[in-house]
Amino acid sequence: MSTVLVVNSGSSSFKYQLIELDGERTLASGLVERIGEDVGSTRHRNEVTGDETRNDTQPIADHAAGFAAMLEAFDAHGPSFAEYPPVAVGHRVVHGGEDFDRATVVTADVEKAIDRLSALAPLHNPANLQGIRAAKEAFPDVPHVAVFDTAFHQTLAPAAYTYAIDAELAKKHHVRRFGFHGTSHKYVSEKTAEFLGRPLSELKIIVLHLGNGASVAAVDGGRSIETSMGMTPLEGLVMGTRSGDIDPAAVFHLHREAGLDFDELEALLNKKSGLLGLTGSGDMRDVQDSASRGDAVSEAALAVYRHRIRHYVGAYVAQLGGLDAVVFTAGVGENNALLRRRTLLGLDFFGIHVDDDRNELASREARLISPDGAPVQVLVVPTNEELEIARQAAALS
């Protein structure tokens, strides 16, 4: 019985899942948070028994102490690592730059590369690396595998990833489109082919990963050929707190006219924009609820949100040279039937239609929401990035 421990590490927290690959089921999941604060917190759920536990009383000095707390939770509440020993530990790493186009066993050189790439993802890669190093102390006898958010998009052609700035400057400082959410886009496109019973190599798919962070990918024959996020996850769609596409000159304008320094501008575009900036709430559920009660500001924000998605759908049909499927995934994409219907409304000339009854049907399974016989299949496919990380880690164990 093969299991993989999947770790998603942040600067002051990490999430984990123990996944059994034979049945592709989660055996345990949990969260260690408030690392480095006076009082840390651990939450652990034994998915086999359904038992949950929480500890909010112990300080957790660093990530190594966090992994020790996680091991204590497994020992006390199961399932036992003795019964389900991991064959590998899979780590989500946000930025692999141009160095990594696939999952990679973590070596000293790989650690150095992840550290060097922190310049491109200063909020993520250092935290990912802390988690890797702490996990290697806790599990020294199994391979540790880095799975990069950017890897799936390394198939983009130069015309798709190149920004039209001074070429030498761009090359020196790695200014180009990298794309993110690649693990999700890969999993969902493969699951779509499986659901449709067609070879992935024959399909032209647009994947709409709509969560608090959001991105679109054009997948041609299983290869990413276009994606909306760029050098960082800021570019592209309107998101919960991120602006998405904006004229770069707006940054210079706000610096000169509003007196915002570059740290303030970075915080504005990443943490105070998107739905939050437009409405005061970055939670799609709150915005949708306000709009349903007649709030004009919320409805206007949703119109901007939908407009941006449609913009990318149209562009990606052109880049793909045809279309077989549009797929919604992630928290918003999987659960918001009204948004799905209104976003695709009027795209009949592309062969895109939504069946209202199918669209309204709530399910945790992959499902078709277009009518029978529609030229383009529209689907909802729940993503599972942890399972994809586990698969890729196990393949290298």
Please give the positions annotated as active site.
149
Question: What strands, in cross-sheet order, belong to the sheet with 377-380?
Answer: 223-227, 214-220, 204-210, 325-329, 377-380, 367-368
Q: Are 231 and 176 in contact (CB under 8 A)?
A: yes
Tell me the chain's radius of gyration from C-alpha atoms: 21
CB 193 within 8 A of CB 123: no
Phi, psi of 59 (to 5 degrees): -70, 145
Q: Which long-range contacts (CB under 8 A, 24 or more apart) does 286-292 make?
A: 288/336, 288/338, 288/339
Could you give the residue ranges of the DSSP H alpha helices within the chain? 63-77, 108-116, 125-138, 158-161, 167-173, 182-196, 249-257, 262-271, 274-279, 284-292, 296-320, 330-335, 337-344, 356-360, 385-395
CA 225 to CA 215: how far, in whole Å?
14
Q: How many CB atoms lie within 10 A of CB 222?
A: 17
- What burial class does residue 256 get, using C-beta atoms within 10 Å of its C-beta: 0-12 exposed, 13-18 middle, 19+ buried? exposed
How far apart are alpha carbons 371 and 353 in whole angstroms? 7
CB within 8 A of 211, min separation 6: which ones?
240, 330, 331, 332, 333
Give the contacts of 257 (CB within 8 A, at least 6 positions apart): none
Both tokens assigned to 351: 């062969």
CA gap 205, 219 in Å, rounded = 5
